[in-house]
Structure 1
Amino acid sequence: MDFKLSDFLPTTKKEVGLRGWDTLDVILFSADAYVDHPSFGAAVIGRTLEAAGYKVAIVPQPDWHGDFRDFKKLGKPNLFFGIAPGCMDSMVNKYTANRRLRSEDAYSPDGRHDMRPEYPTIVYSRILKNLFPDVPVVLGGIEASLRRLTHYDYWQDTLRKCILCDSHAELIIYGMGEKPIVELCRQLEGGVPIRDIRDIPQTVYLTQKNDLPHGICENDIMLYSHEECMKDKKKQASNFRHIEEESNKMHANRLIQEVDGKYAVVNPPYPPMTTAELDASFDLPYTRLPHPKYKDKRIPAYEMIKYSVNIHRGCFGGCAFCTISAHQGKFIASRSKESILKEVRKIIRMEGFKGYLSDLGGPSANMYRMEGKNRKICEKCKRPSCINPNVCLNLNTDHRPLLDVYHAVDALDGIKKSFIGSGVRYDLLLHRNDDDNINRAAEEYTRELICRHVSGRLKVAPEHTSDNVLKLMRKPSFCQFIEFKRIFDRINKEENLRQQIIPYFISSHPGCHEEDMADLAVKTKRLDFQLEQVQDFTPTPMTVSTETWYTGYDPYTLQPVYSAKSQNEKLAQRQFFFWYKPEAQNNIRQSLKRIGKTELINELCPQAPFFKKKTYTGNRNESDGYSQNDHHRHSKAKQGYSTDYPKNYDNGNNRAGSCIKKSKSKTGRRNNNNR
């Protein structure tokens, strides 16, 4: 497909002229390279405004040094400046869990590290307020969304205020922003000053106590103030329960928090988008290409997702370390089959496409069209997860609509194979429903997934083997992984396939002790796994796990929870992933003696070291709770995120251990995927 420069949203004065425009209504400043694709938040918001009739331009990765010419080159917009800080949190994008610089910036040309500042939301906003003090600045994207109230910042090791305080901007649009951004434009265009715009759902603003619209209402939730949270970590933990619950309710309440003598007000979110609304967003005239200015340059994140399709938003898994609930919520918004097929046909016509879709999924691979059977029950629910600690009886877990999409896509001329790169929820596949037709559909989906949609390696995320840790993670018992692996191995044998299953694991999560990691090493060794690329837990803003890690309390019970925090504590846990490496064995022996697990020494550290290499996990060593590729999947799912950390559990370590002893499977493993 050939595109003209004018087919992209303008990025320069010359390109604005190609459109025949004298002025602009909205100018977006993005910390990512401009890729005109529905997986990139700035493109989604820009195309949404364009479709609503507004003149919009994008300034990608402006130079924040020197004379700020990139911030001045397009002049003043008629309505406001918008800050789109990137598909990933800037600090997660830049640093590993050990605060080391990542190997590349996945959203910059050629992976360059010098194209964005730390905290671009704050940096860009302050520059614009200094240059154009009378023009409103509106914040969006993952960075502002997850910093909309008092939050813990791992990289500065402190509590930070609502990001409006530090950025000096007027408004935050949190979550998926298509609906609030258009409504904001309409009100501003109608002459309402931004200081008087207080009724748009899914927005956050600062106001003086005496100017709070409608005063403090009966249903408002007054959080502990920022200053109180600075003094008392238990109050910060208590706040977060309300924040998460209101993010996941169908009819949420307004949240109010005092900070610096003002109120930060979080309006409830819009309802989930309808299928028609979501289709309209994905059907906008994206070129699906990087802007021509990046000719001959590689944008790593784009390379990961250019032949993939996102089929839904939202995730009801509720994993404690995942930010999807804070950004998208738990209710699934699904595209129509027709819209999905339309996008696949566009991909088929793309230069270089050889017939293989890299992913046909979403935040989770197999939640398409799943929702509550009785909506009234959902309207009263405030559970953060629909499948933890057990699958809700009101949840429709039918995989037939998803199978229908797979079949329709695979039937298109030009498609050789569609792979599922998103993480699969095996607990949904194993769940037994009262409806035998739904059970048969889950079995059919499992077989089709394994036989037709695995690119040699299927990645799943058990995350740990200890049920005590999994309970805090809101993940299912490790027994369920054992059962799914057994099914995977059986189907591979029946179909004469040589495929691998790739389990992802996290160390140093709240509630995890060295003893739990020693047990993880034993259990995975008995399953014939050698774990090479794994993940230390990274605290990122607005997750239950982060709040537990920082405060030392479970936000829902306010009971104390241990977390490994020092470098030595983290390394002591991480080393158990690598029991098979000769250089790790002496330290592991010493650790096992120290924690009273001497009975495991002969199994993990025999006198003749175990050298044979067979099995590895996907590349998670640089990510924030999932693989580097997961970043691209989840940012795709969020259209402007990601910090996924992707959700269930059962009780009893003995059951998990006994399951492993019964397993005789010896298959090898490995993989990767954005999450």
Structure 2
Amino acid sequence: MFLPTTKKELHQLGWDALDIILVSGDAYIDSPFIGTAVIGRVLTDAGFRVGILAQPDLQGDDICRLGEPKLFWGVSGGCVDSMVANLTASGRKRKKDDYTPGGINNRRPDRAVLIYANLIRSKFKNTCPIVLGGIEASLRRIAHYDYWSNAVRRSILLDAKADFLLYGMAERAVVDLATALKDGTDPRDIRGLCYSAPERPAEYLALPAFDEVSGTGKQAKKAFTKMFCRFYENNDPVTAQGLVQLHGTRWLIQNPPQHHLSPDELDHIHSLDYQLDLHPFHQPQGDVRALETIRFSLATHRGCYGECNFCAIAVHQGRTVVQRSRKSIVNEAKGLIAHPAFKGRIHDVGGPTANMYGVECRKKLHKGSCSDKRCLFPQKCKAMQVDHREQLRLLEELRQLKGVKQVVVSSGIRYDLILADSKNGLKYLRQVVRHHVSGQMKVAPEHCQDNVLACMGKPGRESLLRFRDFFNKMSAAEGLKQFLTYYIIAAHPGCRQQDMQAMKNFAQKELKVLPRQVQIFTPTPSTWSTLMYWTGENPFTGQPCFVEKDNQARERQKAVLTGPVQEAVKRQGGGRSFVKKRCQR
């Protein structure tokens, strides 16, 4: 059964009231890929009564549809930051939304977390605690640069006047919070929780205050860089300290992160009773595009140690990969096969990076992420032993399931990891080429120029060309007409017009194709690339970094690969599908 969305459904379950109401900027898709659904299922599994208000109407009393919860309101903007969902990199309104019925972008407000929190306060005076969660809240939990207002904003917890904020994936933290509120105990020592107070815990590490980092001058931007570096360094649950940041007269207090779930805990979350469908409440409004991609897909793990500078997964999910057991994944696949709409094709087997499944540094698991180096950039760390055997076993087992015609790996693949595995890397690629590509394989070199790649934290072109050659030879040997699709970012910090022209020349000469999957860099909160965009400085070198901020010039960079600027300007909602960001939750 779905979780209730109306009073009628509530009464059908024999419930007179709810413990928790979750409010989301997405439609209610009951799937392990949808954060609100997962949190609802986890809380229900722990014995709490949970309802969901998905994309509530801002007019009238729709927010009152389920009444008032006993314990707390959980507020999320959805699977994507609402400003990213609603506006392009050039500031134009997106026409489409993959998480809204009918696909029309008309249900999710800008700054959805703030709007929903204010809406609750307006209808329910002196209500129970409002708790923020999801990626929008998680990445905006400290003072942060906001591209759409071109300013440093306060913690979203304080702007929303909420009681608590749960950051990261939050399954364990949300149960701890619900239990504390039910038992009447103080929840303020829960890991993964933020709150505000007039005093600070003495043992917590102080970030530069909001007043220090919110200006536009050189000193303020230096303070902002110091703040972000300290924040990022304290994101690993094994080594992190608690953090505080003064906002006016109140302190934002961030407890250390929750420890990563164990594989058994992750298996259990994926075994819960998801309906793999859009709730009937939404169906009269039309289909939801996201469901097409996620309904028959399998998430094998979470976390990513690639740490691309423009990506927030390392902050939200963590730099440590936590994998599910093969048994759990295969059991979930059997459930997909039994679904009446299943037609034999598993659309994806992966995670933030598909071929990180089964590959993690043992030292990191016990001592935490290294503070002085990264796992893969500028070169793979020697301590990271890469072996694709676990993925080969998993894919083989899935292929052999009765009722499965094809298993596709459509999540991103790190080609540098394949090349780093001297024993099984090419064997893995051969199996992917033979069985798991649906006409095209998507790879994300993002650029070809060394100066731009260094700002992105991405590997150089040599590994891309080696991978391309292996892919083409293997496809030809199998008699398959398959090709690579390349994702490129234009106007990233460090990228000038001549760098995009060099990218075009490289693509035409070496890749023999002109990439069309090009997006303009969008500065989103809590990434290194956004830090570079705001400060104009590379934090890793301390040197000035060119940043293109003129929208027309940014469009021209994209148009080098995609065509005339006039055509680019006409496009609405361009760039990559939001569904591909689903694993961020």
Aligned to 1:415: 404
Q: Residue type of the partner of 2:308?
A: C
Aligned residue for 1:547?
A: 531
In structure 2, the partner of 1:157 is 150
**Alignment CA distance shift 1:115-1:376 (3 Å):** closer
CA distance in 2, matches of 1:183, 1:251: 21
Structure 2 Cα separation of the partners of residues 372 and 563 of structure 1: 35
Q: What SS does structure 2 have at the residue aligned with 1:45?
A: helix
User: How has the CA–CA distance of structure 1 residues 472 and 536 changed in structure 2, closer, same or farther, with 3 Å as cutoff?
Assistant: same
Query: SS of 2:466's equivalent?
Result: helix
Per the alignment, residue 202 of structure 2 pairs with 216
- Secondary structure in 2 matching 1:205: strand
Q: 1:63 aligns with which of 42, 57, 60?
A: 57
Shift of 1:382: 2.4
Query: Could you list the per-position Cα deviations for residues 542-571 of structure 1 after superposition, in whole angstroms to 9, with x for gaps in the alignment?
Result: 111011101112233433211100023213
Flag the 1:464–1:378 CA change in 2: closer, same or farther, 3 A. Answer: farther
Measured against aligned partners, the alpha-carbon deviations of 1:239-271 in whole angstroms (never above 9, x if no partner) come to 111222222463211111111221111111112
Query: Which of the residues 449, 464, 467 maps onto 1:481?
Result: 464
**Equivalent residue for 2:108, pick from 110, 116, 135:** 116
CA distance 1:49–1:384, shift in 2 (3 Å): farther
632, 638, 650: which one aligns with 2:579: 632
TM-fit CA distance, 1:293: 1.9
1:621 is displaced (CA, Å) by: 8.3
Structure 1 SS opposite 2:354: coil
Q: Mapping of 1:125-164 within 5 angstroms?
A: 125-130=117-122, 131-164=124-157
d(CA) in 1 for partners of 2:118, 2:97: 23
- Shift, 1:335, TM fit: 0.7
The letter of the residue matching 1:250 is: V
Structure 2 Cα separation of the partners of residues 574 and 295 of structure 1: 37
Residue 201 (structure 1) aligns with: 191
Which deviations, in whole Å up to 9, do the C-alpha atoms of 1:111-130 show, x marking residues without a partner?
12221211111011112123
Which amino acid in structure 2 is aligned with residue 316 of structure 1?
Y
Following the alignment from structure 2 to structure 1, what is the Cα–Cα distance between the partners of residues 390 and 488? Answer: 30
Quick one: which of 260, 263, 268 aligns to 2:248? Answer: 260
Q: State the shift of 1:289 in Å.
A: 1.0
- CA drift at 1:393: 1.5
For 1:17, the aligned partner's letter is H
Residue 292, structure 1, aligned to residue 286, structure 2? no
Q: Equivalences for 1:655-674 in 2 at 5 Å? A: none
Deviates more, 1:56-65 or 1:293-302: 293-302
> Given the alignment, which residue of 532, 555, 574 partners 2:516?
532
Quote the Cα distance in structure 1 between the aligned partners of 2:236 and 2:532: 19
Rounded to whole Å, the distance in 1 between the matches of 2:470 and 2:411 is: 19
Q: Which residue of 2 aligns with 1:96?
A: 88
The residue number in structure 1 matching 2:385 is 396
Aligned to 2:499: 516
Taking the aligned partners of 1:241 and 1:11, their CA distance within structure 2 comes to: 42
Q: Which has the higher contact order (CA 8 A, sep 6+)?
A: 1
Q: Unaligned regions of 5+ residues in structure 1, if any?
A: 1-6, 433-438, 588-619, 641-675
Residue 440 of structure 1, CA deviation: 2.2
Q: Alignment partner for residue 169 of structure 2, among 173, 176, 193? A: 176
| 1:31 maps to 2:14 | no
Aligned residue pairs, count = 574
The residue type paired with residue 87 of structure 1 is C
Q: Distance in 2 between matches of 1:138 and 1:365?
A: 32
1:384 shift after superposition: 7.0
Q: What residue is the counterpart of 1:564 in the other structure?
A: 548
Residues 620-661 of structure 1: per-residue CA shift (max 9 Å, x gap): 9846xx621xx32332x23x2xxxxxxxxxxxxxxxxxxxxx
Match 2:441 to one of 458, 470, 479 = 458
In the alignment, residue 416 of structure 1 is paired with which amino acid?
Answer: K
The superposition leaves residues 307-351 of structure 1 with CA deviations (integer Å, 9 ceiling, x where unpaired) of: 111110000000000010110011011111111111111111222
Secondary structure class of the residue paired with 1:258: strand
Q: Which moved more, 1:234-243 or 1:397-406?
A: 234-243
Checking the alignment, whether the CA contact within 8 Å between 1:245 and 1:383 is kept in structure 2 is no
Counterpart CA distance in 2 for 1:319 and 1:239 is 20
Match of 1:14 in 2: 8
Q: Which of 230, 251, 258 does residue 239 from structure 2 map onto?
A: 251
- The answer to whether 1:406 aligns with 2:395 is yes
Q: Is the contact made by 2:517 and 2:576 (CA closer than 8 Å) also made in structure 1?
A: no
| 1:167 to 1:205, Cα distance in 2 relative to 1, 3 A | same
> Which residue identity is paired with 2:252?
A
Asked if structure 1 preserves the Cα contact closer than 8 Å seen for 2:31 and 2:276, the reply is yes
Tell me the CA shift for residue 377 of structure 1.
6.8
% identical aligned pairs: 38
1:143 counterpart SS class:
helix
Distance 2:121 2:452 in 1: 45
User: Aligned residue for 1:237?
Assistant: 225
Q: Alpha-carbon deviations, 1:419-445, whole Å to 9, x = none?
A: 01101100001115xxxxxx2211110
**2:259 matches 1:271:** yes
Question: Which of 483, 506, 521 lines up with 1:500 in the alignment?
Answer: 483
Q: Residue 455 of structure 2 corresponds to which residue in structure 1?
A: 472
Structure 1 residue 370: deviation in Å? 1.5
CA distance in 2, matches of 1:342, 1:430: 31
1:352 maps to 2:341: yes
Measured in 1, the distance between the counterparts of 2:365 and 2:344 equals 43
Alignment partner of 1:385 is 2:374: yes
Shift of 1:133: 2.1
> What do you get for the CA RMSD once the two structures are aligned?
1.8
| AA in 1 matched with 2:475 | N
Q: TM-score, normalised by structure 1?
A: 0.82
Give the Cα separation in 1 of the matches to 2:451 and 2:228: 21
Q: For 1:505, what is the secondary structure of its paired residue?
A: strand
Deviation, 1:409, is 0.5
CA contact (8 A) 2:96 2:573 kept: no
Per-residue CA deviations over 1:504-563 (Å, capped at 9, x if unaligned) read 111100011222112111111102112223111011111110111011122334332111
Q: Kindly indicate whether residue 73 of structure 2 is the aligned counterpart of residue 81 of structure 1.
A: yes
Name whichever of 232-241 and 125-134 sits farther off: 125-134
Q: Is the counterpart of residue 324 in structure 1 residue 310 in structure 2?
A: no
Q: 1:376 to 1:323 in 2, by over 3 A?
A: closer
> How many angstroms does 1:383 deviate by?
5.2
